Amino acid sequence: MNLIISGNNLKVTNPLKDIINKKCQKLTKHTSQSIISMETTLSVDKDTHIIESTIHTPTGSLFAKSKDNDMYKAIDSMIAKLDKQLKKQKGKHSPDKAKLSTIQKSDIMETNDIDIDDDFLYFDDDSQIASG
């Protein structure tokens, strides 16, 4: 995964980079699809710490934004939002067993089961084969 971390009005320190990288690795465990890249922007507006992240996956992009008085709490909140979105996206793009139609062997009518005595066959109102 390609991780890009940048800062607006804030110097991104190594501990911040490490914690974001560590938390982002947990996101990859919750999804079967690969995360191509993640772009994260950290900023400070007066006393409010803001973190915005965009994740790019093969099925689309996800965005989360979080604000808090503490940057580490904002990071945790943003990761939780992205995790929830990834789980939701995983559910949408995984095949649903209830929606898949399967053909049972009993549903297949073999030609050996039909006795053809007359020249033609027709369907009566009960949708059963009758000879005519």
Q: Which two tokens stand for residue 42?
A: 């950290």
Strands 60-68 and 2-8, by their bridges, are: unpaired
What does the alpha-carbon distance between residue 78 and residue 100 come to, in Å, rounded to a whole number? 35
Question: pLDDT tens digits for 32-49?
Answer: 667 889 999 999 998 899
**pLDDT for res 98:** 46
Share of the chain above pLDDT 70, in %: 65
The model carries a pTM of 0.66
Question: pLDDT tens digits for 69-103?
Answer: 999 999 999 999 999 988 887 766 555 544 444 55
Query: Quick count: other Cβ atoms within 10 Å of Cβ 3?
Result: 15
Domains and CATH numbers, the chain: 2-93 (3.30.160.100)
Share of the chain above pLDDT 90, in %: 42
Eight-state DSSP code of residue 125? T
What does the alpha-carbon distance between residue 23 and residue 121 come to, in Å, rounded to a whole number? 68
